[in-house]
Structure 1
Amino acid sequence: MSENKKLLLVEDDYYSAETLKFALEAKGHVVTMATNGKDALTMVNNEQPQLIILDVMMPKMDGYHFCRLLKFDARFKHIPIIIVSSKIQDADREMGLACGGNEYIAKPYDLNMLTNTVEKYLDETVK
């Protein structure tokens, strides 16, 4: 298992963010949080996370825009992004993956499945 990795959680729903943060910290990760894409961009630059969990519908900058900006920046394009959204139509999933998301997981999600997906990507970044 990959422990002590820095993760950035970008989610504007406080309850969802706190629940997921608690689960990830229980696995030994360091989790920083942002409530919108604009603040998250600053945090990526400052924190250099190994993985990002990203909501789509947020104030100031949505997840699609944030994802595209990151994937077009040579400094950050290697960071895996797991998009987690209540937008569950095929077109939404396709948009998320086209913007550079590595995974697109629909809300409500199974917490164990999501944390296992995080672990899978973190293990791949170690190799």
Structure 2
Amino acid sequence: PHTTPNPKARPSHAAFTSRYDASRTASLEMHRDTTSFSFTIAMNRATDYEGGGTSLPMVRKNEDADFAPGAVKTDIGGVVSFPGQCWHGGNKVESGARYIIPLFIFLDYNKSGKDRGYVIDQLRDAGAIGDDFEMVF
């Protein structure tokens, strides 16, 4: 296994279990997280439910396919990872139950040792961008 040189560089914001099923919470609308990285870890077999998966605006079924909206469905232990700012959601479970662990990671600094967004502040101070410029972290 690899070790992390500085564990503080990869703090977990939250990790919990979620259940999706047709009779209760069948899906989760498209949204963006405020995290640096988000992960969805499958806790049961993909054959335990119909539908489901992590919805993304652009996926492809294989390297030869075109990108298109779709869902990534993994088997037990499978992980879907993406930048937290990427639009995503929980695809509707038609039957059975899907169990996942959503995991959220924040990276609060960079190699410069400065707070994230420091370049934006410098550009704003220099007049290169206006006060209405927004960056989601």
Q: TM-score range by the shorter chain?
A: under 0.3
More strand by share: 2
Q: Which gives a bigger RCO, structure 1 or 2 (Cα 8 Å, sep 6+)? A: 2
- Report the TM-score, using the length of structure 1 for normalisation: 0.26
- Report the TM-score, using the length of structure 2 for normalisation: 0.24
Q: Which has the larger radius of gyration?
A: 2
